[in-house]
């Protein structure tokens, strides 16, 4: 392994550890995602949560503690934490995975929790969703249960459109893994085709007056030529009649 590869692996490992640490610290606020960006002034950390007030704390005390912890534990250079509220928590895969894991820890049956989470996601406009729950669900043997509704892609370019979240529920029988996949409402899928109607119908839908048909230049010239031939023929017939009368 070259020096560059070692630095790359070390940096990615540090990012994973930072993410796990932040997830643990802000779990009560509903962790929805983390983005780390290197800037000339330091390290910018964009944190998406369901309830930003719990992360910021009174007079910014909580976010100050989190900033100091990142500096001391992970040697993050001049960390600047930006807290962003999730626009729709029910379409955030990470938040829904955390909610489902929390419900399992409180004693909810996995089928009831899975169907309830799936219904909430679809009611908020998702094109599709899938929930995978793995672990000791009912007995001593581990197994996997899947709950799927709508459209979910598993390969190809559309996979990049699927939002994914993972959380762990610690229960008495053992650890249960929760994976949530969501196809957002604004996802443009390659198999979606819009068929446009005739121009008149489209104009009526928009409230516009349908345009009058305009003849093409070639058609207009043909019509003019026909008129000229007809006039010449009539003129010739008139001359012939005059000659006969004389």
Of 214 and 163, more confident: 163
How much is the average pLDDT of 228-236? Answer: 67
Residue 244 has pLDDT above 80, yes or no: no
Residue 48 has pLDDT above 70, yes or no: yes
Contact at 8 Å (CB) between 65 and 74? no
> How high is the pLDDT of residue 113?
94
User: How much is the CA Rg of the chain, to the nearest whole Å?
Assistant: 34
3-state DSSP assignment of residue 64: helix
What whole-number percentage of the chain has pLDDT above 70?
80
**CATH code for the structural domain at 3-86:** 3.30.300.20
- DSSP letter at 172 equals S
Of 242 and 38, more confident: 38
3-state helix, strand, coil in the chain (%, to 5): 50, 25, 30
- Binned at pLDDT 50, 70 and 90, residue 75 comes out as confident
Residue 242 has pLDDT above 60, yes or no: no
- DSSP letter at 88 equals -
Sign of CA dihedral 22, 25, 29, 30: positive
> How high is the pLDDT of residue 211?
57
- Binned at pLDDT 50, 70 and 90, residue 152 comes out as very high
Residue 246 has pLDDT above 50, yes or no: no
How much is the average pLDDT of 96-121? Answer: 94
H or E element at residue 62? helix 61-74
- Whether CATH 3.40.50.300 fits 90-183: no
pLDDT tens for each residue of 2-17: 667 788 888 888 888 9
- Could you tell me which residues are beta bridge partners of residue 135? 143
Domains of the chain, by residue range, sit at 3-86, 90-183, 197-246
Choose the weakest-confidence range: 9-13, 63-67, 117-121.
Answer: 9-13
pLDDT tens for each residue of 170-229: 999 899 999 999 999 988 888 777 777 777 666 666 666 555 555 445 555 666 767 776
């Amino acid at each position: 392994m070259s020096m560059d590869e070692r630095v790359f692996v070390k940096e990615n490992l540090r990012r994973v550890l930072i993410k796990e640490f932040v997830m643990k610290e802000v779990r009560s606020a509903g962790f929805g995602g983390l983005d780390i960006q290197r800037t000339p002034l330091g390290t910018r950390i964009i944190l998406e949560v369901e309830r930003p007030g719990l992360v910021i704390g009174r007079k910014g005390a909580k976010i100050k503690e989190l900033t100091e912890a990142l500096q001391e534990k992970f040697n993050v250079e001049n960390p600047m934490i930006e807290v962003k509220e999730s626009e729709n928590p029910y379409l955030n895969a990470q938040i829904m995975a955390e909610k489902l894991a929390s419900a399992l820890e409180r004693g909810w049956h996995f089928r009831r929790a899975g169907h309830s989470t799936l219904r909430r996601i679809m009611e908020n406009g998702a094109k599709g969703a899938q929930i995978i729950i793995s672990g000791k669900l009912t007995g001593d043997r581990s197994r996997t249960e899947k709950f799927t509704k709508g459209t979910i892609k598993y390969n190809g370019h559309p996979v990049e459109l699927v939002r994914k979240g993972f959380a762990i529920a610690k229960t008495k029988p053992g650890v249960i893994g929760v994976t949530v996949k969501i196809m957002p409402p604004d996802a443009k899928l390659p198999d979606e085709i819009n068929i446009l109607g005739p121009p008149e119908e489209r104009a009526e839908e928009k409230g516009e007056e349908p345009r009058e048909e305009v003849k093409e230049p070639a058609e207009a010239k043909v019509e003019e030529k026909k008129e000229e031939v007809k006039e010449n023929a009539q003129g010739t017939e008139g001359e012939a009649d005059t000659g006969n009368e004389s």
